[in-house]
Amino acid sequence: MRQDIPCWVGGTLRPMDKIDVHRQGLRHPAVSVFIQSGGQILLQQRARTKYHSPEQWANACCTHPHWGEAPVDCAARRLHEELGITGLPLSHRGQIEYRADVGSGMVEHEVVDLFVAKTADRPVLRPDPTEVMATRWISVPALQHEIDTTPGRFTPWLRIYMAQHAARVLPDQAD
């Protein structure tokens, strides 16, 4: 099924099929959300049926905006669609760009708007099973240890965020 996402082609942002964007490794906008509560961050395990990076652990939410959709609106929309979460205040932590082989002949070349939500009370999660097969809360040191010892269990982008951008995506280190 074709799903168009914004993609830069020849310096111009244009709608393009998401699968084609990833097969060609084209540069495109994305959104990533980290949720922290009680010194831990929320991870989601991607569903088995995802077309790339299935069953790997990622941060709370990662996605692509619809054409003309503001990044913060996209982040809130996907938190609701993937995890059933609404109403969390999202703090924009800037943009990063990365390029990573995500398997199955796909490459993510993303310009990512990063968002962080801090909450005292863990939100009730209602994961969409077509998107998420499991969720868990984990401390940053435990996550870093798991990434160091079993990196293949984690998405390339989560490994990049933790290795290169921890101060931007982990609220306790950025506040």
pLDDT for 103 beyond 70: yes
Catalytic residue selected from 7, 61, 62, 74 = 62
Question: Pick from 64, 35, 59: which is nearest to 45 by CA?
Answer: 59
pLDDT at residue number 1: 62
Q: Is pLDDT at 174 greater than 60 in this prediction? A: no
pTM reported for the whole predicted model: 0.93
Which residue segments constitute the domains of the chain, with CATH numbers given?
4-174 (3.90.79.10)
Whether residue 110 lies in the annotated active site: yes
Is 62 catalytic? The answer is yes
Which pLDDT value is given to residue 10?
Answer: 86
**112 within 8 A of 31, measured Cβ to Cβ:** yes
The residue annotated as part of the active site, out of 61, 82, 108, 110, is 110
